[in-house]
Structure 1
């Protein structure tokens, strides 16, 4: 039985001093489902007509209005008709009453500059492992008709004020009753909304009495150097994970460590506790050392009051057995991976233990690049082993006492971790991991 811990406990994650090698336990593929990369939905009927086309600004110096006119290395030309259902970046621990899972979709195409025509949303997904498919039961669009966002948004002059990837980058989600909580990377901010997508609050990040900002924060001028009074969170390194503890507290994880005024990187990535009832940061912080070779946290999901699962990963993609012979292959090399994936792990951490340096204890972990697949369920197997070699693996949650669900963010149309010249699908896997979950 796992022991409870005080509700005031909070995490942070350390990058500068990687953790030593630790015990890996087996994980068996129990289910595999996919949502094809070319999956699109119509925008809401009251959205501006321009939102029926997305991805027009991937090249910042070349606006493109002709659908599917720009070839992409991964085989899906842009811009797209409709809004792509892609970029799954976090699972909520609370499930929809009708089954399935709540998931958040990220900002669109990776930056503020190239995503002003990508509408922000979260989705109700239903994995159908027997069929190998993922059904999109509902898509909920985020909007700010009450003008609670404190800065100018892309659709400022419209009545519905739908939020876009030019405003926020949603990367994590939790659902508490009738409120949805979303972690953003651009501010970084926490957002709250109703289950039908209406924004109810925007919360700046407070750490040690000061506001944390990234270069994408609306108050930071372009080109500003890092510093205590400017920005401290690296670009695209905001709230990648958002966990819901059994006591109802939220734990928001920064993807990367803070930057100092000299441009150096601090050792620790912070996980900050937020009280959703008081709608305020509690000021509690802890640290966790990353596994050797990992560069970021992909997600956090609580197992009980004391233990949580975290995704740890590098920034590479593809099967190492298909690595390119040259460090810099030709641009048209479609049969090999220039920088194959090396570190893709799910680790159990113990919030009730800390080492001499104050870091949270690390327990067992599984290797997503070496999953057992004796039944031959998944694609991309090597013998009876299955690989999940995607650049960004950003969703994990328990699925019963012995299983977890894991999914990739496919970064449409850019990522190609399954095949070097083909856009990744969204893949969701169900893993049998009794050793990982047994404490």
Structure 2
């Protein structure tokens, strides 16, 4: 009897442990199937009908963001490690292609991958003040896995000739009113029909443009998912409606960190699912203000937009829980109607094995090497009563298996993706259980003293297509 009772208790305990273990995301093995690169030096010529001002980029990237028209006037160095510089100097001629912040696989009529992709470049050099002479555009790219090349086929520049944007643009009185990095920070892309929908970080806003010409078709503010009196919209400090008051007046109300708008935006059917990169700032206990948290951890909001009616879906808001406060997301795309992939990262860059010693930051080490770079599989249909999506499984992008030596930069059969901003993820070939991941290089992350290329990798991750089955 005692033996039988012990067996029953052991079985119950085992079942309980299994349930607890399954509540944690499973780690999936990712095996490298393809690696390609776009040289960091890739440039695009501006359209013939664009202002000549755009034929030089980076005039305002020097001290105090003060103008300097001399090509190559400034070294391209890390703010936190001034001795760590790349081979490039700023300003430079033409427009830099690099800085991909969103990707969508282009498929044939049978749904098969064509080895072509839509990608979008971000606002330019990082913020409104230093990106005045950066144009906004998206690109059609082609990968050749054998040649390991990622090449640009065409670029589509954004412009607002019909004055759909309700505020003054930097190029307000020019012929076509081309958009610049002083107007928007374009971070996510979704083609639907003959339109391309773009998620912006400055507002945050949604922008619809022509897929063929880049002409703005519609513009949309972001509703506040919280019922906060006096704050019907989500607004970052870069929202166009905000301005600093006189010293004796209260500060204007905003409820989102700078550069924390729509970094990722998934699509299923005619619906878009924009995902904020940062938590909302809300009313806390006893009149305090705080970032949205659950059990001490910040979370992000997923909203829903109907592209048929061009309206937000009222009352819809899911929550994405971050692994650590201060983490950010890089991209978001769907696998099927219920499951999506989210890139989550820390703000670090560089190989962990080359970390600087305490108090000895110099050009030969990384002052804050990469620690957390993951691609998560999430289940939207399994959201709990509070609206939190379920993190089912993940891939560690600092531990990509490369047993066949596919990448020339792998070491010991492992490829790391140690970039600060990994901002591109999508299903590449569902039949082959393969996803594609790419970096927004920000000119550094892999090699000290060198501007890194934009890399894209094809990863075989069976667990992402089986709901985590086969992952540990």
- Which residue, out of 310, 314, 334, partners 1:279? 310
In structure 1, stretches of 5+ residues that fail to align are 1-18
- Is the CA contact (8 Å cut-off) linking 2:329 and 2:345 kept in structure 1? yes
User: CA offset at residue 269 of structure 1?
Assistant: 1.2
- Is the CA contact (8 Å cut-off) linking 1:95 and 1:102 kept in structure 2? no
- Is the CA contact (8 Å cut-off) linking 1:93 and 1:174 kept in structure 2? no
2:50 corresponding residue in structure 1: 47
List per-residue Cα deviations over 1:261-284 (Å, max 9, x = no partner).
655211231111001111111121
User: Larger Cα Rg: Structure 1 or Structure 2?
Assistant: 2
Matches within 5 A, 1:229-244: 230-244=253-267
Aligned alpha-carbon RMSD (Å): 2.2
2:281 is the alignment partner of 1:259: yes
Greater Cα offset, 379-388 or 48-57: 379-388
Matches within 5 A, 1:33-432: 33-59=36-62, 60-72=64-76, 73-92=85-104, 95=107, 100-195=116-211, 196-208=213-225, 210-222=232-244, 230-245=253-268, 247-260=269-282, 262-267=288-293, 268-283=299-314, 284-292=316-324, 295-326=327-358, 328-330=359-361, 333-355=362-384, 357-401=386-430, 402-412=433-443, 416-432=444-460
Higher relative contact order at CA 8 Å, sep ≥6: structure 1 or structure 2? 1
- Is the CA contact (8 Å cut-off) linking 1:293 and 1:314 kept in structure 2? no
> 2: distance between equivalents of 1:432 and 1:35?
21
- Please give the secondary structure, in 2, of the residue aligned with 1:353: coil
Question: Cα–Cα, structure 1 residues 224 and 318, in superposed 2: closer, same or farther, change >3 Å?
Answer: farther
1:10 corresponding residue in structure 2: none
User: CA offset at residue 420 of structure 1?
Assistant: 2.3
Higher helix share: 2
- Please give the secondary structure, in 2, of the residue aligned with 1:51: helix
Segments of 4+ in structure 1 off by > 6 A? none
In structure 2, stretches of 5+ residues that fail to align are 1-21, 77-84, 294-298, 468-472
- Is the CA contact (8 Å cut-off) linking 1:317 and 1:391 kept in structure 2? yes
List per-residue Cα deviations over 1:76-131 (Å, max 9, x = no partner).
10101000001100013554887501111000001001101000000001111111
> 1: distance between equivalents of 2:210 and 2:426?
22
2:27 is the alignment partner of 1:24: yes
List per-residue Cα deviations over 1:267-316 (Å, max 9, x = no partner).
23111100111111112101121235770111111001111111111110
> 1: distance between equivalents of 2:416 and 2:161?
44
- Is the CA contact (8 Å cut-off) linking 1:90 and 1:395 kept in structure 2? yes
User: CA offset at residue 221 of structure 1?
Assistant: 1.1
- Please give the secondary structure, in 2, of the residue aligned with 1:382: coil
- What's the TM-score, normalizing by structure 1? 0.90
